[in-house]
């Protein structure tokens, strides 16, 4: 990487409000086009003004480029057009690697995980289901595998509990969470109503 001998300057005087980030048009004195350069904040500019410029890779078109400037101070900062705000570093060919190139490997790993999940779930399906029902249920279970508790692990204590039930001297019942059917819910509600009625009478 070789640093270019010039920096970039704000196109106009710019005000960056306190605790804010703003896009600023920056100009190069030499109106040229540079592809894939690293832009970093000029140290004097960042220290004097309490502003930060995130390091980024950009292309300068005809001496112009948009850059982001963050103001972390408690007051507005003025950026005059005459001061250098960023420095440029050219990037040698082959030093930039796209993160998107690895998506095939991730997809293959994900497909392998789904294949294993399908095999595990097929064993749980009721043999009385017809082929269409099995296929639809299996696709639903595979798509939402993380929703169901399929492993026989002990229930862990969660730090995200929002409600507390006072069990007095009785120990709390520890069981895996499960969905209550409509019929069970109705019976439970009737029993709770009976107990409440008995307590209030």
Each residue's pLDDT tens digit, 108-141: 444 555 566 677 777 777 888 888 888 888 888 7
pLDDT at 106: 47
Which among 35, 30, 22 has a CA at the least distance from the CA of 5? 30
Domains in the chain, CATH or no CATH each:
6-90 (2.70.40.10), 113-146 (no CATH)
Give the burial class of 39: count Cβ atoms within 10 A of its Cβ; 0-12 exposed, 13-18 middle, 19 or more buried.
Answer: buried
Which among 53, 66, 57, 56 has a CA at the least distance from the CA of 25? 66
For the chain, percent of residues with pLDDT exceeding 70: 72
Say what the pTM is: 0.45
Give residue 149's pLDDT band: very low, low, confident or very high (50, 70, 90).
low
Q: What are the two backbone dihedrals, phi and then psi, of residue 115, each rounded to the nearest 5 degrees?
A: -60, -45
pLDDT at 102: 54
């Amino acid at each position: 990487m070789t640093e270019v001998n010039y920096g970039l300057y704000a196109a106009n005087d710019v005000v960056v409000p306190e605790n804010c980030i703003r896009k600023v048009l920056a100009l190069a004195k030499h109106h040229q086009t540079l592809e894939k350069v690293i832009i970093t904040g000029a140290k004097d500019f960042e220290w004097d003004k309490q502003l930060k410029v995130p390091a980024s890779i950009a292309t300068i078109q005809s001496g112009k480029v948009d850059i982001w400037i963050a103001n972390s101070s408690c007051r507005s900062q003025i950026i005059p057009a005459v001061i250098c705000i960023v420095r440029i570093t050219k990037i040698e060919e082959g030093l930039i690697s796209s993160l998107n190139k690895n998506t095939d490997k991730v997809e293959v790993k994900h497909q392998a995980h789904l294949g294993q999940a399908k095999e595990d779930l097929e064993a749980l399906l009721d043999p009385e289901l017809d082929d269409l029902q099995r296929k639809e249920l299996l696709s639903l279970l595979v798509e939402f595998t993380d929703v169901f508790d399929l492993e026989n692990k002990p229930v862990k204590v969660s730090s995200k509990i929002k409600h507390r039930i006072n069990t007095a001297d009785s120990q709390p019942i520890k069981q895996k969470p499960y969905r209550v059917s409509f019929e069970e819910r109705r019976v439970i509600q009737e029993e709770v109503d009976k107990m409440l009625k008995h307590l209030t009478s």
